[in-house]
Homo-oligomer: A and B are copies of this chain.
Amino acid sequence: MLWFNCDYNEGAHPRILERLAQTNLEQTAGYGADPYCRQAEELIKDLCKAPQAQVHFLCGGTQTNLTVLAACSRPYQSILSPVTGHINVHETGAIEATGHRIEALPQTNGKITAAQIAQVCKEHWEDDNPEFAPQPRTVYISFPTEYGTLYTLKELKEIRRVCDENHLFLFIDGARLGYGLTAPGNDVTLPDVAALADVFYIGGTKIGALLGEAVVIPNLKLQKDFRYFMKQKGGILAKGRVLGIQFLTLFEDGLYLELAKHANDMAALIKTACKQAGFSFLYDSPTNQQFPILPNDLLANLEETYCFAHIKRMDKNHSAIRICTSWATRKEDVLQLTADLLKLAKEQDATHRVSFIQQ
């Protein structure tokens, strides 16, 4: 079987394993106070053009989200998120378990707008008794979104402006940040993200690391005492170097963006083949996740060889799936997949095909 169901099916990029082996017997301080964490922090701050920022290393996405959002919020404050946000649908109430309400906003292509955020704040503050509802405090968005789509720089700037006007923090979940930064058509850079967000993270787990997310905190207010939050939530790794070494390896020679771009390129080949075969997409993603809508019988054939994630039953004959590529995806496997896909599509009776409008 060839697995295209997610972007964390393999271990780490070999250079990471090599580096771990090379440094293995060096003795270092624990809990992130080692030289590798410090070097990785400096490197990331440089690349972000954010000398005032702090960088902290955590193990995984849910841990990062719940730690950052606890640091952003007083107990009565809420987090605004697209209804499809990872924190709202896929983390077992991890945010609520820290005591905070998520206000889920309707999304379009996985995104929310500055106008929606402004409207929520307006309604809150115009209420006769605003204290009878949680106070909006933080905006949570993902770049790329759960659907692989991207905010434009203009959209992000508008969201920033609305956040400033309403005294809100902006937290950008970058579990797949690299895929967004290297996507065709993207106009957002890493320094843009660092300039616009109060806090964001650079995902390692899904782009080449064994595990690890680098939290970048440009906003000084959120820096204070952040390590207390990390420790309390179980997020300070004793051998912090395991994270520092990985991020140092990913960032010192541009490996991170290189791996992300490779995955995007592989996804683009699949996207092109799906279009060629006449298939629609549930979302129009320029990144490493593709959401084509396939006839069920064709899908069944493909699934004898390939593994995908099922996303949505469109009608009795069609299903939307997610096809993911990663740093580890081999071009030969992609070419085999696209060839099989085109061959099967051709064989299929064209009259059975239905085109779905992209949503």
Chain A residues at the B interface, C-beta cutoff of 8 Å: 1-3, 6, 8-12, 14, 17, 20-21, 23-31, 59-67, 70, 74-76, 78, 89-94, 96-101, 129, 131-135, 205-206, 210-211, 225, 227-239, 241-242, 328
Contact = CB atoms under 8 A, between A and B. Distances in A.
A92 B228 contact: yes
A55 to B, nearest CB: 16
A35 B219 CA distance: 43
Q: Is the interface of A mostly helix, strand, loop or mixed?
A: loop
Contact of A131 (B96, B211, B227): B227
A235 B63 contact: yes
Contact of A76 (B12, B92, B239, B242): B92
B232 A92 contact: yes
Given A76-B93, A97-B75, A239-B210, A135 B234 contact: no
A59 B231 contact: no
A239 B62 CA distance: 13
Contact of A97 (B11, B25, B99, B235): B99
Contact of A242 (B3, B9, B27, B210): B210
B6 A23 contact: no
A6 B17 CA distance: 24
Contacts of A89: 133
Contacts of A78: 93
Contacts of A59: 59-60, 211, 234, 237
Contacts of A2: 27
* Identical copies of this chain, number: 4
A94 B78 CA distance: 12
Given A8-B30, A8-B239, A66-B233, 19 more contacts: A9-B27, A10-B24, A10-B27, A12-B24, A14-B24, A17-B17, A59-B211, A66-B234, A74-B225, A75-B232, A76-B92, A97-B232, A131-B227, A131-B228, A134-B228, A135-B225, A210-B239, A211-B238, A211-B239
A45 B84 CA distance: 39
A233 B234 contact: yes
User: Which 3 pairs across A and B sit closest by C-beta, in order of nearness?
Assistant: A63-B234, A76-B228, A11-B24
A234 B131 contact: no
A89 B103 CA distance: 10
Contacts of A62: 231-232, 234, 236
A43 B28 CA distance: 32
A90 B24 contact: no
A11 B92 contact: no
Contacts of A23: 11
Contacts of A66: 233-234
Contacts of A14: 21, 24
A92 B132 contact: yes
Contacts of A98: 75, 97, 99
